[in-house]
């Protein structure tokens, strides 16, 4: 019975360390991706490639099919 608890505690400990290490890395990657997407939006015109539309969809909290060029203008400013 004790072995399960010990394994569970070890897994929880490893996950805590992993979140701390990977969280910092992911934060930096999100910032890089945001900068890259803003540059793509500034250089190109609507409609964008699916990866950019997906990012815009997340930013606007709106399905891709409902996004119009006027919505993208709010992200540019």
75 or 29, which is more confident: 29
Q: Given a cut of 90, is residue 75 above it in pLDDT?
A: no
Q: Please, are residues 75 and 56 in contact by the beta-carbon 8 Å criterion?
A: yes
Name the pTM for this structure: 0.71
Report the interhelical angle of 69-76 vs 2-43 (nearest 10°).
Answer: 100
The chain-wide mean pLDDT, for the chain, equals 91
Mean pLDDT along residues 10-27: 94
- Token pair of 75, please? 């992200």
What span, in angstroms and rounded, lies between the C-alpha atoms of 17 and 20?
5
pLDDT in tens, 44-54: 888 899 999 99
């Amino acid at each position: 019975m004790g072995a399960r608890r010990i394994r569970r505690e070890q897994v929880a400990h490893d996950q805590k360390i992993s979140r701390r290490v990977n969280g910092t890395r992911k934060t930096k990657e999100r910032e890089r991706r945001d900068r890259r997407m803003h540059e793509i939006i500034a250089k190109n015109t609507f409609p964008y490639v699916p990866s950019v539309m997906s990012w815009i969809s997340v930013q606007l909290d709106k399905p891709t099919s409902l996004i119009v060029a006027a919505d993208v203008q709010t992200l540019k400013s």
